[in-house]
Amino acid sequence: MVVGEIAEDKDIVVIGGGPGGYHAAIRAANLGRQVTLIEREDLGGTCLHKGCIPSKVFTHFAQEFKKTKHLKEMGMEFGEVKANLATLQQYKNKKITQLRTGIESLCKSNQVEIVKGSASFLSESRVGVEHGHEFSLFNFKEAIVATGGDFHYPGGVKFAADRILKEREIFQLGEIPGELIVYGADYISLEIASVFSILGSNVTLIFHEESAFDSSIKKELYRQFKKQKINVIRTAILQTASETDGLVRVKVKKDNGEIVSIEGTHFVTSGQVKPNLPELGLDRLPLNITERGYIETDPGGRTSIPHIWAIGDVTEGPSLAVKAIKQGKAAAEAIAGGQVEVDLQFVPTVVQMSPPIACAGLTEEEARGEGYSVTVSENPVRGNGYAQLTGEKDGFVKVVSDRDTDMILGIHMMGVGAAELVTSGMLGLEMAARDEDFRFPLYPHPSMNESILEAVEGLKGDAVHMPPRKKELAR
């Protein structure tokens, strides 16, 4: 390693080029600052290359594959439909390349300087960047830490190429598993189970804990598992997973102490995300770290060192790109003197399984626990005309409301288009909307949007396509 003796002066240094980092860099450049973005691999980070985009290529493929039966029913004629994962991998890689090139072009057009290498803090105002045998020194005025997180996995797992896999590796397969065992309770595990079940795998899904969904979502989720012939083992802790003679053998321990053994051709487990901090040299700085090992920040992303900021998976909160993106833009605006903050109260939960799930706000159980006088309404998707003609009749929209104020507390939905439809729910929650605010606008017809309208109308028994609510007896 050759160490340079001269340090270059920089304005803003962003460490990490994932969703949070590159959004922060471009936004800061928009605001007139000179930005240096340091990334040790490729721009786009884990989200683009290993996580969000690869997984959504597979979920989109599975959803389209599932539609072929309905299209034949409508009169579309084609031969036998097969899932070719080798071709899908080529498509996935092409899209990743296109998206990465787009990010690179955006950075270039915004005059964001890209530096390749691994950065570490040498002091409160200096970072070193190592790239192969080269080492550069940068003095900075402001720094944004956006190094993301990495997955850590349960013990007892002997990972093996093509058979015992981490959640990101399964989206690199060139063949459909015959018998797939999935261990996890997060959105990634649900998507994996749903995708490969649709594509022809016999799937066993092992939950190590109950999900945090609203009770109605849970009920429908298990109904969908049964419909898709996904075998579910609930609240069981993984003991071992190993491969012998082309077969995977998994042992789990259930709540009652029973040891259950399962065999399959493939096993995949979802890990727990922990922040990428060990190699950053933070021990050289008087930086406050939380008890859970995250960088402590204020609502704008500022750390205990006023000119150092942190965003994304290195901070407390859900490990989601949506959080990192919001925090990245907010940090850039705060550095430029703006009065900003990030409120994570209404972070949407989205699962792109089939049918998709999207939720925001309080569940019915949480609302009751917080002392609200709760009213709920569920509108089944099968009552929606557009759902009927498209053949997408599974799911529902549930609205949780406070009876005393009519304020909407939560929206939970399962069905085609849920990830897009939940946005109107998010806007309502952020604006403290009441049911009349959702009922007043005109909704396009026919469309899935009408399911939200009727769910809200159902709070007071006014929905046309739902059975009348039982009237409460006067006291």
Catalytic residue set: 445
The side-by-side arrangement of strands in the sheet containing 164-166 is 164-166, 266-269, 179-183, 202-206, 231-233
Residue with structure tokens 């060192």?
305
Q: Report how far residue 378's alpha carbon sits from residue 454's, in angstroms, rounded to the nearest whole number.
A: 9
- Report residue 172 as tokens: 């690199």
Chain centroid, CA 349 distance in Å: 7
C-alpha distances in Å from residue 197, one per residue of 54, 56, 409: 18, 15, 34
What does residue 343 show for φ and ψ, rounded to 5 degrees?
Answer: -110, 115
CA 328, 59, 234, 154 dihedral sign is negative
Question: Taking Cα atoms as reference points, which of 331, 292, 347 lies closest to residue 142?
Answer: 331
Q: Is 66 exposed, middle or buried (0-12, 13-18, 19+ CB in 10 A)?
A: middle
